[in-house]
């Protein structure tokens, strides 16, 4: 009988603990829910819906750039169903972030950023957004992975979550269990445009830095060294898995300082040498004109070299991406395709903007202006979906694209070859 009593007591203790956790989460959600807004972007002949998060009581709010791009008017709607026209302070296409300003006499409820470097896989998180235009909706999950590169942009460092994220959640916050913003929900992997339990959020540290730049300058000013980095494939113990300089722009800050292709990077200020994309992201945060010391291993000797950081300018491809929107693939990313394209949000189709000369794409009759919506029999719903489909198709050695003619759907098959990954 004594054992039964102990089991019953333990059972009730477990119930009480679960109830306490649930009540705590309910209180946290109630506290931050008013800081989440629905975002409506009006264009000449269409309207897009997303979400946003107010980050200061004077009305600054953050959302995704692809929600606000080309908008003639941006309206935010609070949980109390109050509507306000928002001013677009600035946009950064490279991280898909827009900063808005909402004006009213009374202060807003706002949320604070957490330190995303402290986020761990398995941490509980919840998202609040505007799925399918329903208004503030909450979904619960965990952090599934960190530092994901989904090839959406040059500074990919996404948090992955199984929290339900659907169309309309774009630009909404991902919170930790304290009600702090750990990420901005930006993309999903999906075969049909619906949630499949694989969502991606831009880490809060990235969002906070971009916001500070947009507030101060109206744009993001990035540092630039003019060199590309990759992991060393050397089998030598002292070089294995270290970062090395793979290529370098002529007359770049790196070249002018005396750095060389093949140099093994041992230290760059206080930047952790995790991977090439994290390295590029951290370098981009250095203000142009600042000097940093880069220690490299060359011919078996360590050599410190001081470099004055330059300012990164938009390339012609990046300018096209900025004009066409954030969902953009370029031929240099996927040379096996032989063309560049952007995703038309209005028609839900990819539009070819440039075809490489003497490529298989040119030989098979793909032209600038051609549109396609299918890959290997599946609809594609944006840049992330397309890039994942390309990677999947590489194992088969070919990819099938469904192009749209005036009255027909033309199927074109392109051969694929595996390409060594470089960053």
pLDDT in tens, 18-33: 555 556 899 999 999 9
Phi, psi for 330 (deg, rounded to 5):
-120, 155
Place of tokens 């995303």: 116
Does a structural domain hold residue 55?
Answer: no
Q: Sorting pLDDT into bands at 50, 70 and 90, what band is 315?
A: low
Boundaries of domain holding 271: 225-311
* Residue pair 390/334 in contact by the 8 Å Cβ criterion: yes
Say yes or no: 331 and 305 in one domain: no
The answer on 265 and 202 residing in a single domain is no
Same domain, 336 and 391: yes
Give pLDDT, residue 235.
56
Question: Average pLDDT for residues 89-98, to the nearest whole number?
Answer: 91
Q: What is the mean pLDDT of residues 187-205?
A: 83
Q: Which of 196, 217, 238 is the last residue of a domain?
A: 217
Asked if 65 and 98 count as a contact pair (C-beta separation under 8 A), the reply is: yes
In a domain, 365, yes or no: yes
Query: Do 365 and 393 fall into the same domain?
Result: yes
Q: Among 99-108, 186-195, 234-243, 384-393, name the most confident range.
A: 99-108
Question: Does 210 share its domain with 249?
Answer: no
Number of domains in the chain: 3
Task: Establish whether 96 is a catalytic residue.
Answer: yes
Contact between 411 and 365 under an 8 Å Cβ cutoff? The reply is no
Cβ–Cβ under 8 Å, residues 314 and 330 = no
Instruction: Using DSSP, state whether 171 is helix, strand or coil.
Output: coil
Structural domain contains residue 168: yes
Tell me whether residue 7 is in a domain.
no
pLDDT band at 83 (very low <50, low <70, confident <90, very high): very high
Phi-psi region of 168 (alpha: psi -120 to 50; beta: other; left: phi over 0): left
376 and 326 in a common domain: yes
The active-site residue out of 48, 170, 190, 284 is 170
Check if 299 is active-site. no
* Tokens linked to 400: 């099938």
Residues 275 and 337 in one domain: no
Is residue 396 located within the same domain as residue 306?
Answer: no
Which of 192, 217, 242 represents a domain boundary (last residue)?
Answer: 217
Do 337 and 411 belong to one domain? yes
Give CA–CA dist 361/334, Å, rounded.
12
- Asked if 129 and 209 sit in the same domain, the reply is yes
Residue with the bigger pLDDT between 328 and 213: it is: 213
- State residue 281's pLDDT score: 85
Q: 34: exposed, middle or buried (C-beta count within 10 Å: 0-12, 13-18, 19+)?
A: middle
The answer to the question of residue 131 being in a domain is yes
Gap between the Cα atoms of 262 and 162, Å rounded: 40
Say whether pLDDT at 17 is over 60.
no
Q: Which of 38, 48, 92, 96 is catalytic?
A: 96
Whether 239 is catalytic: no
132 and 208 assigned to the same domain: yes
Structure tokens at 132: 């399918």
CATH at 171: 2.40.10.10
Taking each continuous run of H as one helix and of E as one strand, the counts in the chain are 8, 26
Structural domain includes residue 65: no
Phi and psi at residue 215, in whole multiples of 5°? -65, -45
CATH classification of the domain holding 350: 2.30.42.10
Question: Given 66, 162, 190, 284, which residue is catalytic?
Answer: 66
Q: Flag whether 207 is in a domain.
A: yes
pLDDT: which is higher, 411 or 14: 411
Query: Does 243 map to a domain?
Result: yes
Same domain (yes/no): 343, 276 = no
pLDDT tens-place string over residues 222-277: 999 988 888 776 556 555 567 888 888 888 899 999 998 888 888 887 787 877 88
Q: What is the pLDDT of residues 166-189, one digit of tens each?
A: 888 889 999 999 999 999 999 888
Q: What pLDDT is recorded for position 376?
A: 79
* Residue that finishes a domain, picked among 217, 241, 269: 217
Contacts of 189 by beta carbon, 8 Å cutoff, 6+ apart: 150, 196, 198, 199, 200, 384, 385, 388
């Amino acid at each position: 009988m004594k054992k039964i009593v102990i089991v019953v007591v333990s059972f009730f203790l477990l119930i009480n603990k679960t109830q306490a956790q649930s009540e705590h989460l309910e209180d946290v959600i109630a506290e931050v829910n008013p800081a989440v807004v629905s975002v409506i972007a009006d264009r000449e002949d269409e309207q897009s819906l997303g979400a946003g998060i107010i980050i200061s009581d004077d009305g600054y709010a953050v959302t995704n750039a692809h929600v606000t791009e080309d908008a003639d008017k941006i309206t935010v709607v609070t949980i109390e169903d109050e509507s306000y026209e928002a001013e677009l302070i600035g946009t950064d296409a490279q991280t898909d972030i827009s900063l808005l300003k909402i004006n009213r006499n009374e202060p807003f409820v706002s949320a604070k950023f957490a330190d995303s470097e402290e986020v761990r896989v398995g941490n509980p998180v919840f998202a609040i957004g505007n799925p399918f235009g329903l208004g503030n909706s909450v979904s619960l999950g965990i952090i599934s992975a960190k530092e994901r590169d989904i090839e959406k942009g040059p500074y990919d460092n996404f948090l992955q979550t199984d929290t339900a994220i659907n169309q309309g959640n774009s630009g909404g916050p991902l919170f930790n269990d304290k009600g702090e913003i750990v990420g901005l929900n930006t993309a999903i992997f999906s075969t049909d445009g619906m949630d499949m339990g694989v969502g991606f959020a831009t880490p809060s540290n990235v969002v906070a830095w971009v916001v500070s730049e947009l507030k101060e300058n109206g744009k993001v000013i990035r540092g630039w060294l003019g060199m590309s980095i990759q992991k060393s494939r050397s089998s030598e113990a002292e070089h294995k898995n270290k970062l090395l300089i793979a290529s370098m722009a002529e007359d770049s800050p790196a070249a002018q300082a005396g750095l060389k292709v093949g140099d093994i990077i041992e230290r760059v200020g206080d930047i952790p040498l995790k991977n090439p994309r994290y390295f590029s992201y951290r370098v981009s945060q250095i203000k142009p004109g600042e000097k940093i010391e880069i220690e490299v291993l060359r011919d078996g000797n360590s050599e410190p070299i001081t470099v004055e950081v330059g300012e990164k300018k938009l390339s012609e491809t990046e300018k096209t991406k900025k004009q066409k929107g954030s969902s953009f693939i370029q031929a240099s990313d996927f040379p096996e395709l032989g063309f560049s394209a952007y995703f038309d949000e209005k028609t839900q189709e990819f539009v070819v903007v440039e075809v490489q000369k003497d490529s298989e794409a040119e030989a098979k009759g793909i032209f600038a202006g051609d549109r396609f919506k299918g890959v290997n029999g599946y609809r594609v719903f944006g840049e992330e979906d397309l890039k994942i489909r390309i990677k999947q198709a590489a194992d088969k050695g070919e990819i099938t694209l469904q192009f749209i003619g005036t009255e027909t759907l033309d199927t074109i098959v392109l051969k694929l070859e595996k390409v060594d990954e470089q960053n």
